[in-house]
Structure 1
């Protein structure tokens, strides 16, 4: 089962916080792979989880649709609440 299938099953099961977590992690992995492919170093610490910051590092190389860019913008601030719901 891949991450997308996992997210679909979690969503169908009403596990929305976990769905966001899986989708964020999947997006983060893809962006970090793109950063590494460009021979750049992804940020560490909290900045390494900021999807907007990661995307900005490869924005000129990755030509994403406006819809995908909006999704990154929407998904990025949801990571901490999904990882730490009581924070």
Structure 2
């Protein structure tokens, strides 16, 4: 039978592979290129934040901070569009 040593953790290779996969997937999600530039005017439409028009002030991963007159609203970049 196999031995389990008391001094070390008993991780399986499957857990390490899954952990590596999750880490790579999250890293790729954070590096998604947001198609909007800082200072560009866009419209954000979200059921929770509502619809706001403003300039892109912050880009953090997949989230974009939309600067309005008095506040910054954060949207997922897929909820933004350029004005007509």
The question of a shared fold, defined as TM-score above 0.5 by the shorter chain, is answered with no
TM-score by length of 1: 0.32
The structure with the largest helix share of the pair is 1
**Structure with bigger RCO (C-alpha 8 Å, 6+ apart):** 1
Larger radius of gyration: 2
The structure with the largest strand share of the pair is 2
